[in-house]
Amino acid sequence: MPLKFAANISMLFNEIQGLANRFAAAKEAGFKFVECTFPYSEPKEDLAAARKCAGLEHVLMNGWPGNMEAGDLGIAAIPGRSDEFQEKLEMSIGYAKALECKRMHLMAGRKTGLDFKDMEKTYLENLQYAADRLQKEGIMALIEPLNTRVTAPNYFLTSPHQALEYIKRIDHPNLKLQFDVFHVQLIAGDLTANLKAALPFIGHIQIAQAPDRGEPDLNGEINYKHVFRVIEEMGYDGYIGLEYKPRGESTLEGLRWMEELGVTP
């Protein structure tokens, strides 16, 4: 079965202004699937119209991240903000429904100055609530560990093992793992074993090269020929998000890695 790649239009096609305008660019590049990080800076009606016009399937988006200018990176684990989490989840659901998006990453937040046990309690309660609420809308709830060394200092969810522990403790059929190969490489390495151990719980995969988060070619720490072979052999039939930062000025030029590795959009 061919691997299904989704262009992350928040990070790819940045040479084109406006998220809505990147759906057409992804289509022209040959993609059938797209994802994004935060769609909230543009009206959901405009994004929905652009997606429909391009004829693409939108497979993933992030939930509301909070006030990123003030240092937020999600609020699901932040004590005292559960009411805000639930309120903003409804807004995120509105965007997801407009885009016909069936997966939502719920970001935990940073642990700066906060008690870990309080954060953990809040996080588990909010994830239980969100898994229930999103299930009613046919949207899968996802959590993703982020590396704290390069990308997300002081982030709460810091390893795939921690994420799997929470998923197992909550034990909800609508809560899955978002396995980002780039982050897991920086956090733990041992990609083959970690992919195989996580497979029953994986709801989405993302990729980028390490350590620069550039194109997932062979110019870095990760052997993506091997990673793709492992993913295929595992029988994973979900989507693989291209959440990387093009090294050059042209996204299209950077897509040559796909031909080099024998895969297609």
Between the CA atoms of 48, 51, 56 and 60, what dihedral angle is there, to the nearest 10 degrees?
Answer: -50
In the chain the beta strands, taken as DSSP E runs, fall at 4-8, 33-35, 57-62, 103-105, 140-143, 175-180, 202-207, 239-242
Residue 56 contacts residue 49 (beta carbons within 8 Å): no
The residues carrying an active-site annotation are 144, 243
Q: Which amino acid makes up residue 197?
A: A
Quote the Cα angle for 19-249-48, to 5°: 10
Contact yes or no for 214/179 (Cβ under 8 A): no
Structure tokens at 65: 């991240």
Q: Is the peptide bond before 211 cis (omega within 30 degrees of 0)?
A: yes
